[in-house]
Amino acid sequence: MKVAVVGATGLVGSMMCRVLEERKFPVSEFIPVSSERSAGTEISFHDKKIKTILAAEAINAKPDIALFSAGGNASLELAPQFKNAGCTVIDNSSAWRMHPEVPLVVPEINADVIEPHHRIIANPNCSTIQMVMVLNPLHKKYKINRVVVSTYQSVTGTGKAAVDQLINERQGVTGKMAYPYPIDMNILPQVDVFLENGYTKEEMKMVNETKKIMRDASIAVTATTVRVPVMGGHSEAVNIEFDKDFDLTEVRSILHNTKGLIMDDEPSLLKYPMPLTAKGKDEVFVGRIRRDESRNHCLNLWIVADNLRKGAATNAVQIAEYIREKFHS
């Protein structure tokens, strides 16, 4: 298949290229796309150096699939153009996620919502992906009424400028600031911009996307998203209230047997998931599994995943794999 990566020079775009290679996605022609500022940058793909091109040239090449990680404005402008050229767009921005006619997909959960006529498919928010990977199998068994989540999100979720800021601060170098405050030796209780209701856009993404992916608008979600000086992945402390009581041994069995999850939960041996555990991995890690002793039918757990991989690039490539197998085999 002809595959374009739009935003190929960014952190997520370059990871998309790497994941396509690692998973041996059958690429007959690789089309890296960048902005005018980065046009002509060489991208390595399967040991070949390929120069990035502009979107207009990529559209003329008529790719079968385009993986987008170029920001919301670019996606709103370019995705329909790629679509009209017969391409299926898998978009990593927030631009299309809540559009009623655009599937929002985590393949392990709801790939079945994708139909042949869908030419724009949304990749969920990184924090949402890792959370619903754990919530969904438990929801099937016990029905979730409410979720309270606090996140501890890597600077890689912001992009290269944030990584550079953290490294500069650790080295005592004055440089461009991606955040309004220092991030090293600090924590910022703000991910994305604030909305009128006092929540950030990131927090409301977790609320709304969870309901759409899990196909249940009755699930109540409240979130506090926090940026921490980490580069390995996102972490989440999650409190889940079920409709009925649960058996803790059964909960562990369900999570242990869920594809794409790794249970890392042996407190007596000080074993629990960390960003260092998840870095470079495609799985979602879950641990610190315990009853909430302050409230009936409630469970506490801790979820960690590499936000550039399962939280973005890997999930997008998995969607591409599903489309190829389902509609192009």
Strands 48-51, 42-45: pairing is: antiparallel
The one catalytic residue in 17, 87, 139, 234 is 234
- Locate tokens 């199998």: which residue? 137
Known catalytic membership, residue 234? yes
Residues whose CB is less than 8 angstroms from the CB of residue 58 and which lie 6 or more positions away in sequence, other chains included: 4, 6, 31, 33, 66, 82
Residue 153 token pair: 């999100």
The residues facing 20 across adjacent strands are: none
Strands 65-68, 2-6: pairing is: parallel
**226 exposed, middle or buried (CB, 10 Å; 0-12, 13-18, 19+)?**
middle
Separation between Cα atoms, residue 68 and residue 250, nearest integer Å? 39
Residues whose CB is less than 8 angstroms from the CB of residue 228 and which lie 6 or more positions away in sequence, other chains included: 152, 153, 154, 155, 187, 235
Q: How far is CA 210 from CA 106, 135, 199, 239, 246, in A?
A: 11, 9, 16, 14, 21
Neighbours of 292 (CB within 10 A): 14
Known catalytic membership, residue 328? no
The one catalytic residue in 17, 126, 139, 298 is 126
**CB distance 37 to 80 below 8 Å:** no
**227 exposed, middle or buried (CB, 10 Å; 0-12, 13-18, 19+)?**
buried
SS3 292: coil
Separation between Cα atoms, residue 313 and residue 290, nearest integer Å? 31
Amino acid identity of residue 280, one-letter, is G
Q: Which residues are catalytic?
A: 126, 234
